[in-house]
Amino acid sequence: MNNAHALKEKALWLGFDQIGVCDAVPAPHLETYRAWLDRGFHGTMEYLERHLPLKESPQNMLPGVRSVVAVTLNYRRENRTAPGLPRIATYALGRDYHRVIRGKLKRLATWIEAEYAGAECRPCVDSAPIFDRDYARLAGLGWFGKNTCLIDSKRGSWFFIGLLLTTVQFEPDAPSVGGCGTCRRCIDACPTGAIVQHDGVWQVDARRCVSYLTIEHKGEIEPELATGIGDWTFGCDVCQDVCPFNEPRPSQPMRSAEATDPDLTKFRQWPRLEQLAVIPSEDWDRTSQGSPIRRAGLEGIRRNARINLHNAITGSARPKPSDSR
């Protein structure tokens, strides 16, 4: 068993905000995930079904893995928008976080491989067949809120999660404990009623979630849900905006994205909604370069802009909640 002190110092030096370690145990909540898929809550994200057998254990990702190193990177920043401009979820305002986090994790892997002869490592960010939040919770980085986001009691939930699997056995941290109590602000504020409870577990029916509809879903969107999209053009911040754990805490300020990594906040000028609704392929290609919003695709972003314009005319664009802090 290796002490994780130097590893943690290195991760913080690389710019991560929090780091924790857990043993590479089989996925603790695989059955909840299976039931979620059985209900069809994943919609058309078929890759999540394909990933099911791989997600059973981190051994499927890296044979011989002993520890999972979990890290977080804050993305909290001011997110103002103006009428006529697209409204983009805070996480997607800057450079694609997959690249930023993977780059840092690779450097952490290089450090481990140099320190521990024969060590192997595998970085995972979001798209890998592993439960990012479950392992981050085991590693002590937060607990599951009713909105299903991982929440750090002191810092809230405006952070990404990265995992580094390694064959080196590091001393594990204690899992996080915490809970929402009687609060249900996110459930009441969700514009499409996507946060539901099944078998005593709060979960997101992705088919109703604005984030899924504006990013992952291809094709038309049924009118009731399109109305719920309001003025969101890409993603949705509502269930985090209303969360009391995300209220600013002067005694424990969370680092802003600007401080986390300037690359996450590089200025981008987005076309107006009228232009986005008919944006030519070459312009979209240039505009979305290096940004998470590229994932919506040309047809998806045009559709979202059309919905926003329609909602602005019919008055179903929601009033702007407070800025992300």
Cα distance between residue 312 and residue 65, in whole Å: 51
Catalytic residue, candidates 126, 173, 263, 283 = 126
Identify the residue among 112, 121, 138, 242 touching ligand SF4 (CB under 6 A).
Answer: 242
Using CB distances below 5 to 8 A depending on partner kind, what does residue 131 bind out of ligand B12, ligand SF4, none? ligand B12
Q: Which of residues 145-174 bind ligand SF4 (CB under 6 A)?
A: 145-147
Residue closer to ligand B12 (CB basis): 101 or 276: 101
Handedness of CA 186, 191, 197, 201 (dihedral sign): negative
- Which CB, 54 or 183, lies closer to ligand SF4? 183
Residue 58 contact among ligand B12, ligand SF4, none, beta carbon within 5 to 8 Å by kind: none
DSSP for 154-167 reads: TTBS-EEEEEEEES
> What distance in Å separates the CA atoms of residue 95 and residue 288, rounded to the nearest whole number?
10
Binding mask 94-133 for ligand SF4 (x = CB under 6 A): ----------------------------------------
Site string for ligand SF4, 194-223 (x = CB under 6 A): xx--------x----xxx------------
Assigned token pair, 206: 């992705």
The amino acid present at 195, given as its one-letter code, is I
Cα 162 from Cα 303, distance rounded (Å): 31
Q: Between residues 32 and 316, which has the closer beta carbon with respect to ligand B12?
A: 32
Does 142 bind ligand SF4 (CB under 6 A)? Our answer is no
Residue 248 in contact with ligand SF4, rule: CB under 6 A: no
List the single partner that 206 binds among ligand SF4, ligand B12, none, CB under 5 to 8 Å by kind.
ligand B12
Report the 10 Å Cβ neighbour count for 198: 13
Q: Nearest distance from residue 115's CB to ligand B12, in Å?
A: 25
- Asked if 8 and 19 count as a contact pair (C-beta separation under 8 A), the reply is yes
User: From ligand SF4, ligand B12, none, which one binds at residue 146 (CB under 5 to 8 Å depending on kind)?
Assistant: ligand SF4
| Distance in angstroms (rounded) separating the CA atoms of residues 168 and 193 | 43
Least distance CB 192 / ligand B12 (angstroms): 11
Instruction: Look up residue 195 and give its two tokens.
Output: 């946060």
Q: Decide if 178 contacts 151 (C-beta within 8 A).
A: yes
* Interatomic CA distance for residues 247 and 325, integer angstroms: 7
Has 237 been annotated as catalytic? no
Instruction: Give the residue, chosen from 192, 288, 291, 304, that forms a contact with ligand SF4 under the rule CB under 6 A.
Output: 192
Beta strands 159-166; 18-23: pairing state: unpaired
Q: Rounded to whole angstroms, how far apart are CA atoms 314 and 10?
A: 53
Could you list the active site residues?
126
Name the residues that contact ligand SF4, by CB under 6 A.
Answer: 145-147, 180, 183-186, 190-192, 194-195, 204, 209-211, 236, 238-239, 242-245
